[in-house]
A and B are shown apart, each in its own frame.
Chain A
Amino acid sequence: MRRFLRSGHDPARERLKRDLFQFNKTVEHGFPHQPSALGFSPCLCILAIGTRSGAVKLYGAPGVEFMGLHRENNAVVQIHFLPGQCQLITLLDDNSLHLWSLKVKGGVSELQEEESFTLRGPPGAAPSATQVTVVLPHSSRELLYLGTESGSVFAVQLPAFRVLDNRTISSDAVLQRLPEEARHRRVFEMVEALQEHPRDPNRILIGYSRGLLVLWDLQAGCVLDHFLSSQQLENVCWQRDGRLIVSCHSDGSYCQWPVSGDTQHPEPLPSCVPYGPFPCKAITKIFWLTTRKGLPFTIFQGGMPRASFGDRHCISVAHDGQQTAFDFTSRVIDFTVLAEADPAAAFDDPYALVVLAEEELVVIDLRAAGWPLVPPPYLASLHCSAITCSHHVSNIPLKLWERIIAAGSRQNAHFSSMEWPIDGGTSLAPAPPQRDLLLTGHEDGSVRFWDASGVCLRLLYRLSTVRVFLTDTDPSGSLHAQGEDEWPPLRKVGSFDPYSDDPRLGIQKIFLCKYSGYLAVAGTAGQVLVLELNDEEAQQVVEQVEADLLQDQEGYRWKGHERLCARPGPVHFEPGFQPFVLVQCQPPAVVTSLALHSEWRLVAFGTSHGFGLFDHQQRRQVFVKCTLHPGDQLALEGPLSRVKSLKKSLRQSFRRMRRSRVSSRKRQPPGLPGEGQEAGAKVERAGLQNMELAPVQRKIEARSAEDSFTGFVRTLYFADTYLRDSSRHCPSLWAGTNGGTVYAFSLRVPPAERRMDEPVRAEQAKEIQLMHRAPVVGIVVLDGRSVPLPEPLEVAHDLSKSPDMQGSHQLLVVSEEQFKVFTLPKVSAKLKLKLTALEGSRVRRVSVAHFGSCRAEGYGEHHLAVLTNLGDIQVVSLPLLKPQVRYSCIRREDVSGIASCVFTKYGQGFYLISPSEFERFSLSTKWLVEPRCLVALAENKKHRPHRNGAGPEKALGRARNSGGQSDGEERRPGPVMEHALLNDERVLKEIQSTLEGGRGSYGDWHSRRVAVGYSLTNGGAE
Chain B
Amino acid sequence: MNRSHRHGAGSGCLGTMEVKSKFGAEFRRFSLERSKPGKFDEFYGLLQHVHKIPNVDVLIGYADIHGDLLPINNDDNYHKAVSTANPLLRIFIQKKEEADYSAFGTDTLIKKKNVLTNVLRPDNHRKKPHIVISMPQDFRPVSSIIDVDILPETHRRVRLYKYGTEKPLGFYIRDGSSVRVTPHGLEKVPGIFISRLVPGGLAQSTGLLAVNDEVLEVNGIEVSGKSLDQVTDMMIANSRNLIITVRPANQRNNIVRNSRTSGSSGQSLDNSLLGYPQQMEPNFEPEDEDSEEDDIVIEDNGVPQQIPKAVPTTENLESTQIELSFDSGPNGFIPSNEVNLASIASGTNTEFETCASDQKLLEEDGTIITL
| Residues of A in contact with B (beta carbons under 8 Å apart) | 1-2, 5-10, 14, 695-706, 724, 763-772, 774, 807-808, 817-818, 820, 822-823, 827-842, 869-870, 880-888, 892, 976-977
B307 touches A1 (CB 8 A): no
17 A-B contact pairs sorted by A residue (CB < 8 Å)? A7-B332, A9-B347, A697-B172, A697-B173, A697-B196, A698-B173, A768-B297, A822-B307, A827-B299, A828-B311, A830-B310, A832-B341, A835-B345, A838-B234, A869-B233, A880-B323, A886-B349
Given A768-B307, A840-B233, A870-B230; A700-B169 close (CB under 8 Å): yes
Min CB gap B264→A, angstroms = 19
Residues from chain A with a CB closer than 8 A to the CB of B233 are: 817, 836, 840-842, 869
A147 to B64, CA, bound (A): 104
Min CB gap A730→B, angstroms = 13
A953 to B113, CA, bound (A): 94
Given A827-B297, A827-B307, A883-B348; A9-B332 close (CB under 8 Å): yes
Interface centre among B233, B315, B329, B338 (most CB of A within 10 A): B233
B297 touches A702 (CB 8 A): no
Residues from chain A with a CB closer than 8 A to the CB of B352 are: 885-887
Residues from chain A with a CB closer than 8 A to the CB of B326 are: 2, 5-7
Q: Which of B195, B292, B328 contacts A695 (CB 8 A)?
A: B195
Interface centre among A703, A827, A837, A869 (most CB of B within 10 A): A837
B300 touches A724 (CB 8 A): yes
A702 touches B294 (CB 8 A): no
| Residues of B in contact with A (beta carbons under 8 Å apart) | 162, 165, 168-176, 190, 195-196, 219, 221, 226-240, 292-300, 304, 307-311, 315-316, 319, 322-323, 326-329, 331-334, 338, 341-342, 344-349, 351-353, 369, 371
A425 to B364, CA, bound (A): 58
Min CB gap A837→B, angstroms = 4
Q: Which of B297, B308, B346 contacts A766 (CB 8 A)?
A: B297
Closest to A9 in B: B332
Q: Which of A10, A724, A771 contacts B329 (CB 8 A)?
A: A10
A438 to B175, CA, bound (A): 41
A883 touches B345 (CB 8 A): yes
A770 touches B295 (CB 8 A): yes
Residues from chain A with a CB closer than 8 A to the CB of B310 are: 822-823, 828-830
B300 touches A765 (CB 8 A): yes
A1 touches B319 (CB 8 A): yes
Q: Which of B234, B309, B327, B349 contacts A829 (CB 8 A)?
A: B309
A451 to B338, CA, bound (A): 43
A701 touches B345 (CB 8 A): no
Given A5-B326, A838-B221; A700-B309 close (CB under 8 Å): no
Residues from chain B with a CB closer than 8 A to the CB of A695 are: 174-176, 195
Q: Which of A8, A774, A833, A841 contacts B347 (CB 8 A)?
A: A8
A892 to B230, CA, bound (A): 11
A346 to B331, CA, bound (A): 78
B341 touches A769 (CB 8 A): no
Given A705-B165, A837-B219; A7-B174 close (CB under 8 Å): no
B369 touches A834 (CB 8 A): no
Residues from chain B with a CB closer than 8 A to the CB of A977 are: 175
Min CB gap A787→B, angstroms = 13
Given contacts A838-B346, A840-B230, 7 further A-B contacts (CB under 8 A): A8-B344, A698-B173, A817-B237, A828-B308, A839-B230, A869-B233, A892-B227
Closest to A746 in B: B300
Closest to A700 in B: B235
Given A834-B342, A882-B348; A702-B173 close (CB under 8 Å): no
Closest to B327 in A: A7
Q: Which of B170, B228, B237, B319 contacts A837 (CB 8 A)?
A: B237
A922 to B220, CA, bound (A): 34
Residues from chain B with a CB closer than 8 A to the CB of A700 are: 169, 171-173, 232, 235-236, 239
Q: Which of B238, B307, B332 contacts A8 (CB 8 A)?
A: B332
Min CB gap A1022→B, angstroms = 9
A882 touches B344 (CB 8 A): yes
A772 touches B332 (CB 8 A): no
A771 touches B237 (CB 8 A): no
Given A702-B162, A817-B237; A828-B169 close (CB under 8 Å): no
B298 touches A834 (CB 8 A): no
B234 touches A836 (CB 8 A): yes
Given A774-B237, A828-B311; A5-B295 close (CB under 8 Å): no
B298 touches A767 (CB 8 A): yes
Min CB gap A7→B, angstroms = 3
Given A7-B326, A769-B295; A702-B300 close (CB under 8 Å): no
The list of the 9 closest CB pairs from A to B, nearest first, reads A840-B230, A9-B332, A7-B332, A702-B239, A836-B237, A695-B174, A698-B232, A767-B298, A8-B348
A836 to B315, CA, bound (A): 32
Given A5-B322, A701-B169, A882-B348; A840-B307 close (CB under 8 Å): no
Min CB gap A619→B, angstroms = 29
A886 to B351, CA, bound (A): 9
B329 touches A7 (CB 8 A): yes
Residues from chain B with a CB closer than 8 A to the CB of A883 are: 345, 348-349
A839 to B171, CA, bound (A): 21
B240 touches A702 (CB 8 A): yes
Q: Which of B231, B239, B309 contacts A703 (CB 8 A)?
A: B239
A807 touches B162 (CB 8 A): no
A696 touches B300 (CB 8 A): no
B226 touches A768 (CB 8 A): no
Given A1-B319, A870-B230, A880-B323; A828-B236 close (CB under 8 Å): no
Min CB gap A44→B, angstroms = 41
Closest to B328 in A: A7
Residues from chain B with a CB closer than 8 A to the CB of A881 are: 341
Given A766-B299, A807-B315, A836-B237; A698-B172 close (CB under 8 Å): yes
Residues from chain B with a CB closer than 8 A to the CB of A892 are: 227
A705 to B234, CA, bound (A): 19
Closest to B215 in A: A700
A697 touches B299 (CB 8 A): no
A9 touches B311 (CB 8 A): no
B323 touches A837 (CB 8 A): no
Min CB gap B89→A, angstroms = 47
B174 touches A702 (CB 8 A): no
A705 to B304, CA, bound (A): 15
A697 touches B174 (CB 8 A): yes
A870 to B293, CA, bound (A): 25
A808 to B315, CA, bound (A): 8
B332 touches A771 (CB 8 A): no
B195 touches A837 (CB 8 A): no
Residues from chain A with a CB closer than 8 A to the CB of B346 are: 838-839
Residues from chain A with a CB closer than 8 A to the CB of B240 are: 702, 771-772
A2 to B238, CA, bound (A): 34
A976 touches B175 (CB 8 A): yes
A842 to B233, CA, bound (A): 8
Residues from chain B with a CB closer than 8 A to the CB of A828 are: 307-311
Residues from chain A with a CB closer than 8 A to the CB of B171 are: 700
A10 touches B172 (CB 8 A): no
Min CB gap B46→A, angstroms = 46
A14 to B248, CA, bound (A): 44
Min CB gap B112→A, angstroms = 43
A764 to B341, CA, bound (A): 33
Residues from chain A with a CB closer than 8 A to the CB of B295 are: 768-771, 820, 829
A842 to B237, CA, bound (A): 10
A157 to B52, CA, bound (A): 118
A886 to B322, CA, bound (A): 27
B348 touches A884 (CB 8 A): yes
Residues from chain A with a CB closer than 8 A to the CB of B344 are: 8, 882
Given A771-B294, A830-B310, A833-B341; A10-B316 close (CB under 8 Å): no
Residues from chain B with a CB closer than 8 A to the CB of A832 are: 293, 338, 341-342
B345 touches A9 (CB 8 A): no
A841 to B221, CA, bound (A): 13
Closest to A837 in B: B237
Min CB gap A441→B, angstroms = 28
A837 to B308, CA, bound (A): 22
